[in-house]
A and B are shown apart, each in its own frame.
Chain A
């Protein structure tokens, strides 16, 4: 296996708010290599986005990284002074944000916003940069890009804005691309197109892609490895096949069971996960999923379950893992 491009170890992020300390990310580790697509799945509020913001050093003011490391080309992103990190941000590691409606500056043209990273990182002249911007827009599939480069965001449709966001992220040909819910705000047909653009990128340019989403369908078709996140921790980690065929964590199982399926029998009911997500206002001292878990055991309340490798490459943080046949059985 190739040397990982980005290697995150034990990342912990906390927020200081009026309501108290929020334990947003509690020890997360993962790695991603060239041309690989890594999925991070979880419901909203589980700490997925905070993880990516922390890596780029653009957490909101109230947030702080309190522990962990993130090695990228021999340097720890979390220890770098802001000035050096800025040289990496947008150039080597770029990010696509969730909501294309609000993530573009309404008073600047699309072209101007694509040109910005080119000017900053490569010192390109305005004219050369604009030509490159047109090329990028063309690449992400904006028709008559040369004519649209001077448009403002409100003149673009939602799907086109997300394409423009991708063009911004691709401007400097980054080695790592973090896509935070890139398709959530879009129509289904456009979702597929956007995912296609991302997939081609991984194949053609060997970009390492970190795909953050709550949508299991998006992950299933795109990622090689999948991390399931809950309460700021990874609950289960494995290849896409392992996760979708033999989920071993009760939470993963719950996620899969709450997705409507066409091939399920009419009588088979959807099984929503009972209860509400953790409020994250206290340091986890037990399994974060325990209050909502059907499989909880005595130990679940006593301590935080560590990730254990149940079969090669398949890690589960649970004291009482779901039997391997459980999911296959419920589908049949």
Chain B
């Protein structure tokens, strides 16, 4: 029995227990890294949704008296994360900041994803001239590195919340278009699609009921990872001063812009929003990685944790 036979045999055993999705869910549940990811993202979403209820202060409330003796007093019982250079409660600002990241991230990814999906599936399914036209356009957009494209768009539209959403969303379009086109091309030649065509199903019907559902799993993985990138890019644009123009807005990247001046006296002002960004990005990356592994048939059935342990035991005893 060769390795390949061994693995294909395991895949058969695996496939018999349920469908692709329930199987993937089973694997995801056993993946501790993905669980950490779910926890981080869950906390991030809850905080974003309920920030006004959780936050002890309003994010823009200034209390100059607190910084009268220099910037900036560190953590205390009244202000767990300390206050910033204008005496605003850092904890409340961080909690409110989650709203911006989540809102911009979700809107821009969904916008980029839906336009990319549409273009990619049209290109992949129709093929020919339309395919070349769309994909060359995507190539040209991809020739401009993501953040630079976003910078250019924000420069044209002016800085601000919606502009950032559009910029990050547009930068996502070619990524999803390419991904979906590849998937659709691969699915188009599958037996069940040929079968549907043979019995005379309509083109659009084949695309929506046969091809897209099967091409969607890499899109879900990419979507999760794109959320991570979007949060980083949004913070990056904020850091460059292209974020919301009201400097009081508690956007994480924007909060990091001004701290350069206070790095010596109050490093926590840089560390806290930074860590908030890292944790939420890490959460999406962990889920994306876990999903990819769970959905990838090639990775199924590799030697697992328990197997390793037994192997080690067998080694020492044998």
Direct contact of A and B (CB under 8 A): yes
> Which residues of A are interface residues toward B (Cβ below 8 A)?
14-19, 21-22, 24, 44-50, 60-62, 64, 66, 98, 279-280
Interface membership of B314, Cβ < 8 A: yes
Tell me if A22 and B2 are in contact (CB < 8 A).
no
Judged by DSSP, the binding face of B is: helix
Tell me if A47 and B303 are in contact (CB < 8 A).
no
Tell me if A48 and B1 are in contact (CB < 8 A).
yes
Tell me if B303 and A50 are in contact (CB < 8 A).
no
Tell me if A64 and B310 are in contact (CB < 8 A).
no
Separation of A61 and B307 alpha carbons in the complex (Å)? 11
Tell me if B318 and A66 are in contact (CB < 8 A).
yes
CB-CB < 8 A to B302: which residues of A?
Answer: 18
Shortest beta-carbon distance from B230 to chain A in Å: 34
Separation of A14 and B313 alpha carbons in the complex (Å)? 13
Taking a contact as CB atoms closer than 8 A, the residue among B1, B9, B13, B307 that contacts A16 in the complex is B307
Contact with A along B275-318 (1 / 0, CB 8 A): 00000000000000000000000000111101110110011001
Taking a contact as CB atoms closer than 8 A, the residue among A19, A48, A50 that contacts B10 in the complex is A19
29 CB contacts below 8 A, A to B, read A16-B303, A16-B307, A16-B310, A16-B314, A17-B6, A17-B303, A17-B304, A18-B10, A18-B301, A18-B306, A19-B10, A19-B14, A19-B301, A21-B310, A24-B1, A45-B1, A45-B9, A46-B1, A49-B1, A49-B2, A50-B2, A61-B303, A62-B303, A62-B311, A64-B314, A66-B314, A66-B318, A98-B2, A279-B13
Tell me if A45 and B314 are in contact (CB < 8 A).
no
CB-CB < 8 A to A46: which residues of B?
Answer: 1
CB-CB < 8 A to A19: which residues of B?
Answer: 10, 13-14, 301
Interface membership of B65, Cβ < 8 A: no
Most chain A beta-carbon contacts within 10 A, residue among B1, B5, B9, B318: B1
Separation of A87 and B315 alpha carbons in the complex (Å)? 23
Interface membership of B195, Cβ < 8 A: no
Shortest beta-carbon distance from B101 to chain A in Å: 37
CB-CB < 8 A to A24: which residues of B?
Answer: 1, 6
In the complex, what residue of chain B is closest to A46 when comparing beta carbons? B1
Taking a contact as CB atoms closer than 8 A, the residue among B6, B306, B314, B318 that contacts A22 in the complex is B6
In the complex, what residue of chain A is closest to B308 when comparing beta carbons? A16
Most chain A beta-carbon contacts within 10 A, residue among B2, B3, B315: B2
> Which residues of B are interface residues toward A (Cβ below 8 A)?
1-3, 5-6, 9-10, 13-14, 301-304, 306-308, 310-311, 314-315, 318
Separation of A172 and B1 alpha carbons in the complex (Å)? 27
Shortest beta-carbon distance from A41 to chain B in Å: 14
CB-CB < 8 A to B304: which residues of A?
Answer: 17-18
Tell me if A45 and B5 are in contact (CB < 8 A).
yes
Nearest 9 CB-CB pairs, A to B? A18-B304, A16-B307, A16-B311, A45-B1, A49-B2, A60-B3, A62-B303, A16-B310, A50-B1
Most chain A beta-carbon contacts within 10 A, residue among B308, B310, B311, B318: B311
In the complex, what residue of chain B is closest to A53 when comparing beta carbons? B2
In the complex, what residue of chain B is closest to A45 when comparing beta carbons? B1
> Do A18 and B307 form a contact, CB below 8 Å, given A64-B315, A64-B318?
yes
> Do A62 and B1 form a contact, CB below 8 Å, given A18-B301, A279-B9?
no
Separation of A47 and B1 alpha carbons in the complex (Å)? 4
Shortest beta-carbon distance from A222 to chain B in Å: 21
Shortest beta-carbon distance from B31 to chain A in Å: 12
Taking a contact as CB atoms closer than 8 A, the residue among A17, A279, A280 that contacts B307 in the complex is A17
Separation of A64 and B1 alpha carbons in the complex (Å)? 14
Shortest beta-carbon distance from B5 to chain A in Å: 5
CB-CB < 8 A to B10: which residues of A?
Answer: 17-19
In the complex, what residue of chain A is closest to B313 when comparing beta carbons? A16
CB-CB < 8 A to A280: which residues of B?
Answer: 1
